[in-house]
Structure 1
Amino acid sequence: MLKRTLWLLGMVLLIFTTACQGSGDSSASGDSEGGTTLTLWHIETGPSEQALKDAVKRFEDSHDGVKVKIVQQENDPYKTKLSVAMGGGTPPDVFHSWGGGWLEKFVDAGQVADLSGDIDTSRFVPSALTPATFEDKNYGAPLAMDIVPVWYNKEMFDKYGLEEPETYEDLLNIAETLKSNDIIPFSLANKSKWPGSFYYMYLAERIGGPELFNEAFNREGRGFDDEAYVEAGKKIQELVKMDAFPDGFNGMNFDTGQSRQLMYAEKAGMIIQGSWMLGTTRADMPDFEKKMGFFLFPSVEGGKGSKQDIVGGVSPVFSVSEKSKHKKLAKELVKELTSKETAQQLANEDGAISAVKDVEYEDEYVQKISKVLEQSEYLQTFYDQTLPPELAEAHLDTTQALFGLSMTPEEAANKVEEKAKEVLK
């Protein structure tokens, strides 16, 4: 009882403190001297951040007396900060999301404004609208889409006579060759858990097929304790035991670039990351771009999934807080943030695949990524964005535990399934 009382007091203090601090960067909205100020929270960096700044400038220029306070957040702490701001009644007017279960929890709590009728949904790729559509109402406008390939060092592959793999066995042979030449096969910074989730999602899909997740999520057929998930966990632990990752990878920070730096320094040969890797590399280490290639995660022998099935998602999706004092203006800001002009800039300067229709890709690299998305047979959205928050947390925690060899594949799968029975109806 004492522990619970102390915990409740701590949460009250956290919300109170954040609400007080929020007057600086999380106020719902307010009036500045001579006009109105809106607050925008996002997690973009590099060229994509600049595209948002340019969109805000256009918005301000066309709305006299209106200013936008832009607050760029680090990816990993962002979810917690926004949750606390929402709970404390001090959310930003416009905020970044990925749609899915994470956004839905705020929608269910009445904290997100309905954008139905305020945005022209015909301007967007239909599949990009789905993650922010609940009960036929739209709560977010998408700007970009991502795929998650395996990025690799082309020069390194040429040096050691390696080719893009067709099968998972081929991929393991590549890893062994790199290891034998004192090169880390896969660069991974997994402190924030989601980078390791890519391996689990791909392996489970390649083994169990594209309907595996849908059956488990919809509670129709196989569950999260299916043998395909167990086998995926076993393959992850086989990679760990063969030293396929950097020392201490479960404690390495993705946001500070630890995994990317190993690629740039040519200490690692491959990294499984989203298509945002292109724009990030151009900002971090532009000279490395010419060495970069990518391939889709290969098929697993005997598995039901295809090499043309990809993991991906929609981000950013921009939503408006229900508590915004200037919802009409905030919705206008969302329109500019997701305009064709913004999408075009993001595509050509950050390598983003547009969620907005009729964008022309000047960049050959982006054309190639876009073609992969067009030719894909199935898109598996990110588990941690699609699942309800409590279940997403169970998935991330157990996946990190698999990488840390502190939980067996059976235990991990069973734990997620137990949580699914509690959370999913």
Structure 2
Amino acid sequence: MKKLTALLSVIAMLLLAACGGNQGASTSTGSGDGDEKVIEMWHIETGEREALFEEVAKQFEEENDGVKVKLLQAPNDAYKQKLAVSMSGGNPPDIFQSWGGGWLKHFVDQGNVEDITANVDQDHYLEMALNNGTFDDKVYGVPMGLSLDVIFYNKEIFEKYNLEEPKTYEEFTNVIKTLNENDVTPLALTNKTKWPGAYYLMNFASRIGGPDLFESAFNREGRGFDDPAYVQAGEYIQELVEMDAFNKGFNGIPYDEGRGRQLMYSGQAAMMDMTISFLNNVREEAPDFEEKLGFFVFPTIPGGEGNQTQVGGATGPVWSVASESEHPELAAEFIKALTTKETSQKFTDRTGTLTAVKGVVPKDDFVKEFYEVAQNASHIQMPYDQTLPPELAELHKDTTQALFGLSMTPEEAAKKMEAKAEELLE
């Protein structure tokens, strides 16, 4: 019995030791010259983005004696689940990444996010991007990056079949027909995780109903998610499916595995609707493909209220401080270090994307093309799933995936969305 008791004591001590690492909010640990202040940041980024964060952390530590910055990276889906659990358990990191909008507001409404308005120079950031982390005139999230949604294409394939960048839906479908006739998959799509297909719904809806459609439905200002424009958007999606515009089995293929991108790299598919992060994927996975890469903005729809100066976009990373942080001021200072003009210039030049910090012009020729689109945009639509409350955001992705699968009619999808919106938004 004594041996058993001793054994259990050892096991308990080992478990305590294993769980003793800092898994959430900041801690102070003993050091030779006093307490060391530790701030922990969770994020999803890899490659050059992660490397840049590590460089900023090292410099921050050098400039702040007795401070340690711990960075923890996790894949997108695992990260979201891990953060939600840590928030509900009262043990989140000091700093966490989000995309702003409804996803961040969910944690704000729960009292889990620090108001950092006093710590932020709001003129330092693009107003549209900062607004995505601002609620009730209080800043809860600071944007570092700005992305756009465009349609990438293989210039070599387009040249081979005498195709031009389509500006209208009729031109777009003519391109699709020509590619099908030549046994080239027109559009690569990996829609198991649902968000890639959602870009089509948002683009069609904006082109049909105009840029104010979503805001009107979201803010309950006259139009709803059952607006005829949303029904028509669903009809256009299903028309593309019935035209064999996409690769087979697209609703069962996850984006992160890269199979859709491989269709592009190998020349099996000619186009892909995706955020400008695709350029970074190309540079990491298939750098030789970049010389073949072009892009265009989503085409216009006959009789629609939208035009090509209205584009889809997203903010990210958006940095926030958890209300449970023991060192909120220090955490806010590190966020400022991540979004200085100097760091932001490195961010855009090294990662092939745009930044939400004012006055940062890309040096990279390809990224400059994205920059021109953003500069000339009359409206940038943030993703629905990052703006809507989580339950409605999931329904939006579920119903859109069902539209692609032809298992739900556009009318049914629109009615489901509006019914849930009436329940959650009013």
What does residue 283 of structure 1 align with? Answer: 284
TM-superposed deviation, 1:157: 0.6
Whole-Å separation in 2 of the counterparts to 1:26 and 1:180 = 55
Secondary structure of 1:61's counterpart equals helix
Pairing 1:244-323 to 2, within 5 Å after superposition: 244-323=245-324
TM-score by length of 1: 0.92
Q: Which runs of 5+ in 1 are unaligned?
A: 1-19
CA deviation string 1:351-370 (max 9, x = no partner): 22111122232111111111
What does residue 9 of structure 2 align with? Answer: none
AA in 1 matched with 2:302: E
What does residue 162 of structure 1 align with? Answer: 163
TM-superposed deviation, 1:46: 2.1
Whole-Å separation in 2 of the counterparts to 1:364 and 1:55 = 26
TM-superposed deviation, 1:385: 0.6
Pairing 1:9-408 to 2, within 5 Å after superposition: 26-32=23-29, 34=31, 35-408=36-409
Identity %: 51
TM-superposed deviation, 1:37: 2.4
Identify if the C-alpha distance between structure 1 residues 63 and 44 changes in structure 2 by more than 3 Å, giving closer, same or farther.
Answer: same
Structure showing greater radius of gyration is 2
Does the 8 A contact of 1:22 with 1:90 survive in 2? no
Whole-Å separation in 2 of the counterparts to 1:130 and 1:299 = 27
TM-superposed deviation, 1:141: 1.1
CA deviation string 1:329-369 (max 9, x = no partner): 21111111112122111111112211112223211111111
Identify if the C-alpha distance between structure 1 residues 261 and 32 changes in structure 2 by more than 3 Å, giving closer, same or farther.
Answer: farther
AA in 1 matched with 2:66: G
AA in 2 matched with 1:31: S
Secondary structure of 2:113's counterpart equals coil
TM-superposed deviation, 1:186: 0.9
What does residue 5 of structure 2 align with? Answer: none
Does the 8 A contact of 2:225 with 2:414 survive in 1? yes
Whole-Å separation in 2 of the counterparts to 1:344 and 1:21 = 40
Tell me the matched-pair count: 406
AA in 2 matched with 1:92: P
CA deviation string 1:94-146 (max 9, x = no partner): 01111111111111111001111112222111111101111111111111111
Identify if the C-alpha distance between structure 1 residues 32 and 177 changes in structure 2 by more than 3 Å, giving closer, same or farther.
Answer: farther
Identify if the C-alpha distance between structure 1 residues 278 and 32 changes in structure 2 by more than 3 Å, giving closer, same or farther.
Answer: farther
Whole-Å separation in 1 of the counterparts to 2:20 and 2:285 = 33
TM-superposed deviation, 1:25: 6.8
Identify if the C-alpha distance between structure 1 residues 291 and 33 changes in structure 2 by more than 3 Å, giving closer, same or farther.
Answer: farther
Secondary structure of 2:271's counterpart equals strand
TM-superposed deviation, 1:259: 1.4
Whole-Å separation in 2 of the counterparts to 1:263 and 1:246 = 11
Secondary structure of 2:118's counterpart equals coil
Whole-Å separation in 1 of the counterparts to 2:409 and 2:290 = 38
TM-superposed deviation, 1:66: 2.0
Identify if the C-alpha distance between structure 1 residues 175 and 22 changes in structure 2 by more than 3 Å, giving closer, same or farther.
Answer: farther
AA in 1 matched with 2:399: T
AA in 2 matched with 1:46: G
Whole-Å separation in 2 of the counterparts to 1:409 and 1:23 = 52
Secondary structure of 1:149's counterpart equals strand
AA in 1 matched with 2:153: Y
Does the 8 A contact of 1:233 with 1:402 survive in 2? yes
CA deviation string 1:371-414 (max 9, x = no partner): 10111121111100111111111101101111111111111110
| 2:410 is the alignment partner of 1:418 | no
Is the deviation greater in 24-33 or in 333-342? 24-33
Does the 8 A contact of 1:114 with 1:139 survive in 2? yes
Whole-Å separation in 2 of the counterparts to 1:243 and 1:361 = 38
Secondary structure of 1:107's counterpart equals helix
TM-superposed deviation, 1:166: 1.3
Whole-Å separation in 2 of the counterparts to 1:371 and 1:217 = 29
Whole-Å separation in 2 of the counterparts to 1:26 and 1:170 = 53
Secondary structure of 1:345's counterpart equals helix
AA in 1 matched with 2:241: V
AA in 1 matched with 2:121: D
Whole-Å separation in 1 of the counterparts to 2:19 and 2:329 = 22
Secondary structure of 1:150's counterpart equals strand
TM-score by length of 2: 0.92
TM-superposed deviation, 1:248: 1.4
Does the 8 A contact of 1:48 with 1:350 survive in 2? yes
Does the 8 A contact of 1:46 with 1:280 survive in 2? no
Whole-Å separation in 1 of the counterparts to 2:173 and 2:390 = 33
Does the 8 A contact of 2:361 with 2:371 survive in 1? no
Secondary structure of 1:117's counterpart equals helix
Does the 8 A contact of 1:347 with 1:354 survive in 2? yes
AA in 1 matched with 2:311: I
Does the 8 A contact of 1:74 with 1:255 survive in 2? no
Is the deviation greater in 334-343 or in 410-419? 334-343
Whole-Å separation in 1 of the counterparts to 2:45 and 2:419 = 35
Instruction: Give the alignment's Cα RMSD to 1 decimal.
Output: 1.6
Whole-Å separation in 2 of the counterparts to 1:187 and 1:152 = 10
Secondary structure of 1:229's counterpart equals helix
Whole-Å separation in 1 of the counterparts to 2:183 and 2:78 = 34
Whole-Å separation in 1 of the counterparts to 2:253 and 2:202 = 21
Whole-Å separation in 2 of the counterparts to 1:315 and 1:21 = 33
